[in-house]
Amino acid sequence: MTDILMPALSPTMEEGVLAKWHVKVGDTVSAGDVIAEIETDKATMEVEAVDEGEVLEILVPEGSEGVKVNTPIARLSGDAVAPAPKKADAPAETPKAEASKAETPKAEAAPAPAAPKSDDGGRIFASPLARRLAAQAGLDLKAVKGTGPHGRIVKRDVEAAGKGGAQPAVAATAAASAEPRKALSLAQMGIADGTYDLIPLDGMKKAVARRMVDSVQNVPHFPLFIDVEIDQLMAVRAKVNKMLEPQGIKVSVNDFVIKAAALALKMVPEANASYTPEGIAMHHNADVSMAVAIDGGLITPIIRKAETKGLAQIATESKDLAKRARERKLKPEEFQGGTFSVSNLGMFGIKQFTSIINEPQGCIMSVGAGEQRPVVKDGQLAVATVMTVTLTCDHRVVDGATGARFLQAFKPLIEDPVAMLA
């Protein structure tokens, strides 16, 4: 008899909703059979059995919310093992997924010991390297104070503890001693009970809230603004769409923006980077995340290697990803691991806005509406269609000069888009 555990379907997943069972007690399952649907904070995924056996007991009924990762959800006869998410490269081994939560996403992560728990049951945040070194040295991470971001334990902390030396934990001590912000009820803030309807937070709302607060509190944001003229882009777009009409493909302004941003990232690779405690990660490809509004939140599916793709391919992929995002049918690898984000509110008539950085990315681009504005050309007043673009940067990675060089590379690509078609 084997317990089937709640799998970790993404590096950041801590709990999920057991949306639906596809089996019942007494059913016999084989490897590859879909046994359940799990709703994470971003998507609904099918879970497959990886071995055969008889379902002896359903421990968690369908529709249950807040099911913690690694919780037994069913029992199977025989020597079966826990199920894996559909089409995943390997079975979902929760300890590894747990161990990667606080790490910067990496394409190939070396195996690391499972993340330990503190005395109160909470996770101890430590890098995989720190956990590995601690395990080799026989150190208890509960006794090690972290000096990394958010008090995370990094290599130097383990080395210092191993030598018996004092750790430079001033920042961690200050964070630990700070009193957590106490949430006041609406009644305490003057809003009477019974004067509003309360909509419970679902997993996505909680995840978005947590990530946005973490980003604002821990990433030193700063914005850069630039105006770009898009009259030529609109003319080229009309011609391109006429050519692609027989194929049923329609290229949007946002598709041009994604392509231009990807090319600009290759021209200014310092902007295609992420901050980590161990150093600055310089990404090899421009994997551009595009913000998609869905019911109850926001998700950022990714156009991988956008610098290598034509406008027609980007348009096709972005339409497909946006459709499946709204249906919550995306796979984790389709919305995790981008290197740069684009958020466009131009279709709502928003002229200009500043976005919150999507960690661990170094930048996010906010695109406003194109509108006719007066401009000066050769000393003469004229009218042009102008679009305001804001680049929000993580100052630890992209300083003002680097951000400016990126926008200098981006602007001519948008204003003369023929260069993108070469």
Q: Give Dmax over CA atoms of the chain in angstroms.
A: 82
Query: Torsions phi, psi of 161, nearest 5?
Result: -65, -35
The identity of residue 74, as a single letter, is A
Burial class (CB in 10 A: 0-12, 13-18, 19+), 382: exposed
Question: Would you call 395 a catalytic residue per the annotation?
Answer: yes
* Inter-residue contact 412 to 399 (CB < 8 Å): no
* Inter-residue contact 71 to 60 (CB < 8 Å): yes
CB atoms within 10 A of CB 252: 18
> Could you say which of 22, 150, 284, 395 is catalytic?
395
Distance CA 339, CA 309 (A): 16
Is residue 360 reached through a cis peptide bond, with omega within 30 degrees of 0 on the bond before it?
A: yes
Q: Which has the closest alpha carbon to 16: 51, 53, 43, 55?
A: 43
Distance CA 96, CA 75 (A): 22
* Inter-residue contact 208 to 298 (CB < 8 Å): yes
Burial class (CB in 10 A: 0-12, 13-18, 19+), 119: exposed
State whether residue 225 is helix, strand or coil: strand
236's tokens: 């080229």
Burial class (CB in 10 A: 0-12, 13-18, 19+), 165: exposed
Distance CA 127, CA 130 (A): 5
Element (H, E) at 64: strand 64-68
Query: Torsions phi, psi of 35, nearest 5?
Result: -110, -20
* Residues designated catalytic: 395
